Each structure stands twice: as structure tokens, then as C-alpha cells.
Amino acid sequence: MLSLLIILTGCSPKHSEQAVYSDGVEINYSAQGQGEPALVFIHGWCCDNDVWKYQVPYFEKSHKVVTIDLGGHGQSGLGREDWTMEMFGEDVAAVIKKLNLKKVILVGHSMGGPVIAAAARLMPERVIALVGADTFHNIEEGYTGEQMAQIIANMQRDFKKEMNIFVRNMFPANADPNRVDWVVAKMSSANPNVAISSLRSLGQYSLIQPLQDSNVLVYSISSDFWPTDFEVNKKYIESFEVKMITGVGHFVMLEDPDKFNEYLDEIINELDE
């Protein structure tokens, strides 16, 4: 479950638009490129769509590419009291429906894993596969109420200080310090109320039923920084496959974008066969 809790600027022009979720919160997204399946990228906890800076220019040459700021993150609105995985799934569904995407691969980093599972459950007729980016490590695993209460208490006491420690622990010792500092600054500047509310929801969210209900293919492109329990996941999701990137931390798509893009390309090609 640690992987679910942990969740740089773009190289190509972004065309930002707005999709309004049913509760009135504006969801910021960027869409470019053409071609099916469409690739919809979902960031992790306390991040925004900039974390896909290396994927957009690569995949927009052959696919419709969409990046989304979940509610309460990035340039999206703040008009909610509670921030849950189910609501974030609705945010994703709102954008996909507005763009009328018929054949979609959802790619989610960290907390984005549960979010894409929630979204796929809402529209299984549109989603053909889920690809987790360093998430879906062990879908049985979870925090106890006491553990989650302590994590949240630390965040409430000094959000920026706790985030600084928390985020740096997501990277190996040899990570690029400029990249680490950038991610620390981004996540530390997140709205604390959104961060804590979504963290609380994440701790209570079980992936098993949503992944089984959506009945789509499930992949993971993960780091060896934390273990992925392939056998546990396979018990629940027969289609589950994992591709491993070595020598990097939690932000696999930023730390080794070439390998990440290569693996995502392989998944797309497998789905076309």
C-alpha cells in the first residue's frame, strides 16, 4: 500500500481546456495528437499533469494523448469538501466522455492506479486496459487505521516538512538531485486539505473489486525500488502483467522515460495483436 500512498515542464505545447464535473468542479486537461487507442495519463498524489512531460511528445505522434489534473490538483478546481478515489474516477470519466473517446488505455502513476481502477469501473465499454506506473504492487495490502491516523497526524502537524521527508524517500540515493528537488517542491505546494482528504480515502480504498468489476487487462510498469507481488495480484486479476525498470525510484516515467515509453509501446502493441 506504500506504493499507493506515494505517489517537470512539458516539451511540447499544451492545449488546456476544461471539463466540468457534475459537482461543478472544473477539471483541467490537455489533449493533443490523434489515433486509437487514446492514452489518458493520470498523475499521482499531490502531483499534476506535468509529470508526463516525457510521454506526451513521444506518444502524441501516433495516439490521442490526454493528461488530466485531478480535482484539487494542478489547475483544476477546489470546490469539494471530500476528495475520494471514486470522485477522482468521475473526473477522469468526465474528460473521456467530453472528448467522446471510444477506445482508451488509462495510465496512472501511484495514487493514479486506484483512480484509473475507479474510472474503468464507470465505463468498461470505453477502457481496454489499465497501465499502472509504479503502482498495483500488492492489491491485498493496506494500512491499518492506526497507521493511517499517524501518517495524517504528521501531515497535519507540519505539511511541508513532512512532505519533504516523505518525497525524498521515494528516490534512490543516486537520483538526480534537481529532479528530486523539483518533485519535492511540487508535492509540498499541494493543497494540504486535498492531500489529507485524498490520503484518508486512499487508505480505505480496496483495489480488488474495482479491478475485477471493470474486467479489463491490467499491466504495471514498476520500479524494483519496492517489490511487486506478482503472485498475489495474479490471484485476483488473471491478466496482470508487470514490466520492471531497475535502478530508479517511484517516479519511473521521469527517471527512465526511454524505458518507460518502450514498455508502454510494447503493451500497446500487445493489445493490437
What's the pLDDT at 151?
A: 84
What's the pLDDT at 15?
A: 56
Query: Mind listing the pLDDT tens digit of every residue in the chain (273 residues)?
Result: 334 343 333 344 455 677 776 678 999 999 999 999 999 999 999 999 999 999 999 999 999 999 999 999 999 999 998 999 999 999 999 999 999 999 999 999 999 999 999 999 999 999 999 999 999 999 988 666 677 888 889 899 999 999 999 999 999 999 999 999 999 999 999 999 999 999 999 988 999 999 998 889 999 999 999 999 999 999 999 999 999 999 999 999 999 999 999 999 999 999 986
What's the pLDDT at 93?
A: 96
Q: CA 54 to CA 58: how far, in whole Å?
A: 7
Q: CA 243 to CA 185: how far, in whole Å?
A: 29
Q: CA 159 to CA 70: how far, in whole Å?
A: 20
Burial class (CB in 10 A: 0-12, 13-18, 19+), 5: middle
Q: Which of 167, 155, 161 is nearest to 198 (CA)?
A: 155
2-272: CATH class: alpha beta
Q: Angle of helix 85-99 relative to helix 112-122, nearest 10 degrees?
A: 60
What's the pLDDT at 27?
A: 95
Separation of CA 105 from chain center:
13
| Sign (positive or negative) of CA dihedral 197, 201, 202, 203 | positive
| Sign (positive or negative) of CA dihedral 169, 133, 110, 132 | negative
Q: Which of 151, 182, 217, 161 is nearest to 6 (CA)?
A: 151
What's the pLDDT at 272?
A: 82
